[in-house]
Amino acid sequence: MLTAKDIHKSFGELEVLKGVDLHVSPQEVVVLVGVSGSGKSTLLRCFNFLEMINSGEIIIDGKSVNSKKDNLSKIRAEVGMVFQHFNLFPHKTVLENIIEAPMMVKKKKKEEAMIHAKKLLEKVGLSDKADVYPNKLSGGQKQRVAIARSLAMEPKVMLFDEPTSALDPELVSEVLGVMRQLAQEGMTMVVVTHEMRFAREVADRIVMIDEGQIIESADPKTFFENPSQERTKQFIQLVG
Amino acid sequence: MPETFYTIVDVFTRTLSGFLDAAVVTLQLTAVGIVLGCLLGLFFALLKLSKSKPLQLIANIYITIIRGTPLIVQIVFLYYGIAEFVTLSNFQAGAIALGVHSGAYIAEIFRGAIQGIDKGQSEASSSLGMTKTQSMRRIIFPQALKRSIPPLGNQFIITLKDSSLVYVIGVAELFSLANREAAQSFKPFETYVVVGLYYLVLVMIFTYLLHLYEKKLDVDKD
């Protein structure tokens, strides 16, 4: 579904990704972990070309993407992204946030987009919030709307960039609950998170990134109980 | 003092119909100036924000020249200076000068407001598959416009007052009329007080309308 081959990415002098290879199969849930600055968010952002790679190859749904020639908007429309800070559109209601891209990008009719949006709101448990503006929502509610907004494009894969890091602790579980449900429904997901319990329970595979390279890639049981690298052991101890 | 007051009232009533006509011309000049200024401002703001160096350069040249020269020079330039090539009526020349002039300032207002919108907004719209244009039109600009309203209001008020400079090419607006009245009636003090009051009242009405509009925008939203 999603393959990265030998990805290199630098910001000026600083090389953030130093040759990363990752393959995500359909319906697989991959959790990316690592200390801050390790490059995990950058890698995720490369997958939908919010960051352009310096070298390497990104293959989405069997097609190698050339970021210079290809229509990136079209590719991004198939890759959902959920951000740490939600990035809802503050001047639009919850419902308008969700129907915007389907109408603009997929040229869906408004009625059709609204029916779909309402279903998605029901799915994330926010049917009663359709007509409110984002500033009236809690962080957890905002993030659930952001997930619904991404899903409205019917993406083939969903990327989550620390989706619960900006939330008050008591709001984390409602967002993880929605993500868990998505995973169970067979959505292909790549998740950057510090929620180790979520990783343990939901991930098919946990990938550890350290200093711009993947140093460990294993199923949760092996990852937590029998990691191959000393750095991974240290990390697990650090995050509990 | 009471005497002065009576002569002011006298001048006011005697010139009322003339000044009302002139006020309409002032408002017309201002309206054309503002609309044109907003269009030019948006256009040059987008040029300045584009990735193309030549386009940025064009915007910078426009802004530098317009902000670096007096409006009164721009007005006479458009009326007398280019008369050989383009003939404009004095109203047209005045209104266009006001638009071109305010456009340079409005470009900077829009540019600042657009740049001030959180990067996450364009990232979110890109990640949903929206093109740069769609994202600008539907997501970024509406938010930027809202933030532009206080400084735009200021700029509109400046344009309203700046329209008085158009007297120099003889457009029959408030200040031209005031000059003529003052000279003919030998009552400069009273006449300029009266014309000042016209501007003051217009600006106050303007400010009030803007205030209402800002309030309306704030309902329900952030």
Express each pLDDT in B90-105 by its tens digit. 999 999 999 999 999 9
A2: pLDDT strictly greater than 50: yes
Specify the DSSP class assigned to residue B61: H
A143: pLDDT strictly greater than 60: yes
A108: pLDDT strictly greater than 50: yes
Q: How many CB pairs under 8 A join A and B?
A: 75
pLDDT of residue B219: 54
A238: pLDDT strictly greater than 90: no
Residues B129-153 have pLDDT tens digits of 999 999 999 999 999 999 999 999 9
A81 in B contact zone (CB under 8 Å): yes
> Minimal CA–CA distance to B91: which of B43, B194, B22, B183?
B22
Please tell me whether the interface predicted TM-score (ipTM) of this complex is above 0.90.
yes
> Is A88 close to B124, i.e. CB distance below 8 A?
yes
- Looking at every residue in chain B, the average pLDDT score rounds to 93
Sign of the torsion angle spanned by Cα atoms B99, B100, B106, B110: positive
A86: pLDDT strictly greater than 70: yes
State mean pLDDT over B182-191: 91
Say if residue B204 is exposed, middle or buried (CB neighbours under 10 Å; 0-12, 13-18, 19+): exposed
Measured in whole angstroms, the distance separating CA A172 from the mean position of its chain's CA atoms is 16
A237 in B contact zone (CB under 8 Å): no
3-state secondary structure chain A: CEEEEEEEEEECCEEEEEEEEEEECCCCEEEEECCCCCCHHHHHHHHCCCCCCCEEEEEECCEEECCCCCCHHHHHCCEEEECCCCCCCCCCCHHHHHHHHHHHCCCCCHHHHHHHHHHHHHHCCCHHHCCCCHHHCCHHHHHHHHHHHHHCCCCCEEEEECCCCCCCHHHHHHHHHHHHHHHHCCCEEEEECCCHHHHHHHCCEEEEEECCEEEEEECHHHHHHCCCCHHHHHHHHHHC
Contacts of A105 in chain B (CB under 8 A): 128-130, 134
pLDDT of residue A240: 66
Which of B124, B134, B221 lies closest to A133 in CB terms? Answer: B221
State mean pLDDT over A128-140: 95
pLDDT of residue B13: 87
Contacts of B218 in chain A (CB under 8 A): none
> Is A91 close to B118, i.e. CB distance below 8 A?
no
Percent of chain A at pLDDT exceeding 90:
89
Print the domain residue range for B42.
2-221
Query: How far apart, in whole angstroms, are the C-alpha atoms of residue A146 and residue A124?
Result: 10
- Looking at every residue in chain A, the average pLDDT score rounds to 93
B220: pLDDT strictly greater than 50: no
Contacts of B220 in chain A (CB under 8 A): 133
> Minimal CA–CA distance to A2: which of A71, A34, A50, A48?
A48
State mean pLDDT over A76-93: 95
Containing B131, the helix (H) or strand (E) segment is: none
State mean pLDDT over A155-161: 96
Single-letter residue type at B4: T
B222: pLDDT strictly greater than 50: no
User: Cβ atoms within 10 A of the Cβ of A175, count?
Assistant: 25
Query: How far apart, in whole angstroms, are the C-alpha atoms of residue B140 and residue B122?
Result: 7
> Is A105 close to B130, i.e. CB distance below 8 A?
yes
Contacts of B222 in chain A (CB under 8 A): 90-91, 133-135
- Give me the CATH number covering residue B193: 1.10.3720.10
Closest Cα in chain A to B138: A100
> Is A135 close to B222, i.e. CB distance below 8 A?
yes
Tell me how close the Cα of B45 comes to any Cα of chain A, in angstroms: 22
A211: pLDDT strictly greater than 60: yes
> Is B127 close to A105, i.e. CB distance below 8 A?
no
User: Cβ atoms within 10 A of the Cβ of B146, count?
Assistant: 17
A67 in B contact zone (CB under 8 Å): no
Q: If pLDDT is split at 50, 70 and 90, which confidence band does A135 have?
A: very high
The number of distinct structural domains making up chain B is 1
Tell me how close the Cα of A43 comes to any Cα of chain B, in angstroms: 15
B221: pLDDT strictly greater than 70: no
